[in-house]
Amino acid sequence: MIEMSDENRSAEVAARAEVDVEEIAKILGIAPALVLRRMDDGRLPFRQEGTRRLAKREDVAKLKSEFETQERLLRTVAEADEIDFQPEPRLRA
């Protein structure tokens, strides 16, 4: 059995802790172009690795939570005003 060095193990853990634009889009249920926009406007921190943009999973989870909170608030306001609120459809992975 081949043992993984601590350095390789750390790199593997770090790689799993970050996700690229395509995976972020799947997690959030939005188009990759919108993920890029969120990165550009500062709402989703990222780092550049060559041509790839990578974000921490925890930052993606925070943004997803913000999206869900906004949707709940909009639904509450719509119900209070008796508006038929239909959120934009999310992309399905």
- What CATH number did the domain enclosing 31 receive? 1.10.1660
Do the domain assignments include residue 86? no
The answer to whether position 88 is within a domain reads: no
- Please state which of the ranges 15-19, 54-58, 81-85 shows the lowest mean pLDDT: 81-85
Distance, CA of 27 to CA of 14 (rounded, Å): 18
- Is 27 domain-assigned? yes
Segment holding 20, helix H or strand E: strand 18-20
Q: Tens digit of pLDDT for each residue in 16-48? A: 799 999 999 999 999 999 999 999 999 999 999
Residue 89: inside a domain: no
Nearest to 20 by CA among 50, 47, 55, 51: 55
- The number of folded domains in the chain is 1
Structural domain including 57 reads: 6-80
User: Could you tell me the pTM of the whole model?
Assistant: 0.68
